[in-house]
């Protein structure tokens, strides 16, 4: 009876895929991803579902095969070349080969007994080194909204963001400013500065510790100035090349100096969520949500006639602060450093300053530049 296993096409397919993957191990390649990114490194492991790269900044980078658009193999340094030329039984002077101005090993000439000269060219060329990863990334946005008709309005908007990343450590600096008038009356006048650092505590870079500090002012919401700080732990639930979802939890303290000579102090829990989705090489959506249920709060009243008087109060379950932000950006050029951005910010406070609405909704369109 014939051996059916040897003629099984599925078995042959697996054997062929394994042999191709095995032959690629150790190759230095550039992986071009479907989201427009690319990775350079040496193949450590490859199977039917993924490729594991060794890069200059990470030991193991796992890339699903479904995320790879194409791959480009980087050729290794070629071996010494041997060139045979017609000889004349004379000794030829040694030649010197240079690459990018750097001298290499001189060529050596050997004359054989049959009058054929064999020239061996030295190949100590500079090694191919991968481009170091970019540590700092900067992003700036400028927006202008003008309306001149029955009701004139002017709105100026600006934002600046800086990101720094090195191995397990990340820093994020975010600055926003708004100023506007509607019918001659100030309708927007605020400024926010936030700083956040994160440190990965697991090898797969999923779990992390964080600390966040914020400061600013908002004339429309009658906040002369404020300061807050949060700390806690977070986790990346989904971490793909084109889709990242993370969440965090911790504690928060905020102190607000209001225009009516009242200082608000509050201690709260913090629950945060961040999502980034690269829909295609040009279109990106990102969103974050922060929720602060109040644990305890007290107000301080300042008066010239009397000393500062604190009024402590334990907050109820219905007291909280929340902030939602969403951005849609579209790249306007091939490199992606110039883009158009649509931003929506919605802030809610159950206990705002006197005479201020609980909800504050802002929608902005701006032109951005990354460098």
Average pLDDT over residues 42-60: 76
Any domain includes 218: yes
Instruction: Give yes or no: residues 161 and 90 share one domain.
Output: no
Any domain includes 126: no
Residue 82 is predicted with a pLDDT of 46
Spell 87-97 as b/e; 16+ CB within 10 A means b.
beeeeeeeeee
Identify the weakest region by mean pLDDT among 125-139, 193-207, 238-252, 323-337. Answer: 125-139
Instruction: Give yes or no: residues 164 and 103 share one domain.
Output: no
Residue 290 has pLDDT above 90, yes or no: yes
Average pLDDT over residues 345-366: 90
Instruction: Give yes or no: residues 68 and 89 share one domain.
Output: no
Any domain includes 153: yes
Residue 43 is predicted with a pLDDT of 79
Residue 187 is predicted with a pLDDT of 85
Whole-structure pTM value: 0.64
Instruction: Give yes or no: residues 94 and 113 share one domain.
Output: yes
| Domain that residue 89 falls in | 81-121
CATH of the domain at 37: 2.30.30.100
Percent of the chain with pLDDT over 90: 42
Residue 366 has pLDDT above 60, yes or no: yes
Instruction: Give yes or no: residues 194 and 286 share one domain.
Output: yes
Any domain includes 127: no
Instruction: Give yes or no: residues 66 and 199 share one domain.
Output: no
Any domain includes 172: yes
The number of beta carbons lying within 10 Å of the beta carbon of residue 187 is 15
Between 295 and 100, the more confident residue is 295
Give the tens place of pLDDT for each residue, 80-101.
444 444 444 444 444 444 444 4
Instruction: Give yes or no: residues 309 and 336 share one domain.
Output: yes
Give the tens place of pLDDT for each residue, 32-44.
888 878 788 887 7
Instruction: Give yes or no: residues 306 and 229 share one domain.
Output: yes
Any domain includes 350: yes
Instruction: Specify the number of domains making up the chain.
Output: 3
Instruction: Give yes or no: residues 115 and 262 share one domain.
Output: no
CATH of the domain at 318: 2.40.160.40
Give the tens place of pLDDT for each residue, 240-260.
989 999 999 999 999 999 998
Identify the weakest region by mean pLDDT among 81-95, 126-140, 204-218, 272-286. Answer: 81-95
pLDDT band at 16 (very low <50, low <70, confident <90, very high): very low
Give the tens place of pLDDT for each residue, 141-187.
998 877 776 677 888 989 999 999 888 999 999 999 999 988 888 88
Instruction: Give yes or no: residues 193 and 111 share one domain.
Output: no
Spell 137-171 as b/e; 16+ CB within 10 A means b.
eebbbebeeeeeeeeebbbebbbebeeebeeeebe
Percent of the chain with pLDDT over 70: 72
Specify whether the CB–CB gap between 183 and 147 falls below 8 A. no
pLDDT band at 25 (very low <50, low <70, confident <90, very high): low
Any domain includes 66: yes
Instruction: Give yes or no: residues 88 and 65 share one domain.
Output: no
Residue the block writes with tokens 């010239």 = 304
Any domain includes 128: no
Taking the C-alpha atoms of residue 55 and residue 168, their distance in angstroms, rounded to an integer, is: 15
Instruction: Give yes or no: residues 238 and 186 share one domain.
Output: yes
> What DSSP assignment string belongs to 246-279?
EEEEEEEEEEEEETTSEEEEEEEEEEEEEEEEE-
Residue 235 is predicted with a pLDDT of 97
The number of beta carbons lying within 10 Å of the beta carbon of residue 19 is 10
pLDDT band at 191 (very low <50, low <70, confident <90, very high): very high
């Amino acid at each position: 009876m014939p051996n059916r296993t040897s003629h099984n096409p599925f078995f042959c397919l697996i054997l062929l895929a394994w042999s191709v993957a095995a032959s690629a191990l150790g190759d230095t390649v550039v992986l071009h991803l479907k989201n427009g990114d690319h990775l350079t490194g040496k193949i450590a492991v490859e199977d039917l579902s993924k490729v594991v790269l060794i890069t200059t900044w990470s030991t193991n980078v796992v890339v699903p095969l479904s995320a790879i658009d194409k791959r480009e193999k980087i050729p290794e340094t070629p071996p010494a070349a041997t060139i045979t030329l017609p000889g004349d039984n004379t000794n030829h002077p040694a030649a010197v080969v240079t690459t990018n101005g750097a001298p290499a090993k001189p060529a050596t000439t050997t004359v054989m007994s049959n009058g054929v000269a064999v020239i061996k060219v030295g190949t100590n060329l500079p090694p191919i080194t991968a481009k170091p990863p970019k540590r700092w990334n900067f992003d700036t946005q400028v927006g202008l909204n003008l309306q001149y008709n029955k009701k004139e309005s002017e709105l100026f908007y600006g934002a600046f963001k800086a990101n720094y990343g090195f191995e397990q450590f990340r820093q994020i600096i975010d600055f926003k400013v708004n100023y506007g008038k509607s019918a001659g009356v100030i309708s927007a006048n605020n400024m926010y500065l936030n700083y956040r650092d994160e440190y990965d505590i697991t090898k797969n870079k999923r779990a992390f510790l964080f600390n966040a500090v914020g400061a600013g002012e908002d004339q429309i919401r009658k906040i002369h100035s404020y300061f807050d700080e949060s700390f806690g732990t977070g986790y990346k639930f989904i971490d793909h090349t084109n889709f990242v979802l993370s969440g965090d939890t911790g504690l928060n303290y905020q102190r607000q100096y209001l225009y009516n000579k009242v200082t608000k102090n509050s201690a709260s829990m913090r629950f945060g969520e961040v999502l980034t989705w690269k829909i295609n090489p040009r279109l990106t959506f990102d969103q974050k949500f922060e929720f602060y249920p109040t644990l305890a709060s007290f107000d301080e009243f300042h008066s010239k006639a009397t000393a500062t008087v604190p009024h402590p109060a334990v907050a109820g379950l219905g007291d909280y602060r929340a902030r939602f932000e969403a951005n849609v950006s579209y790249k306007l050029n091939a490199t992606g450093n110039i883009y158009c951005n649509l931003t929506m910010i919605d802030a809610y406070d159950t206990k705002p300053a006197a005479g201020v609405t609980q909800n504050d909704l802002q929608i902005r369109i701006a032109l951005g530049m990354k460098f």
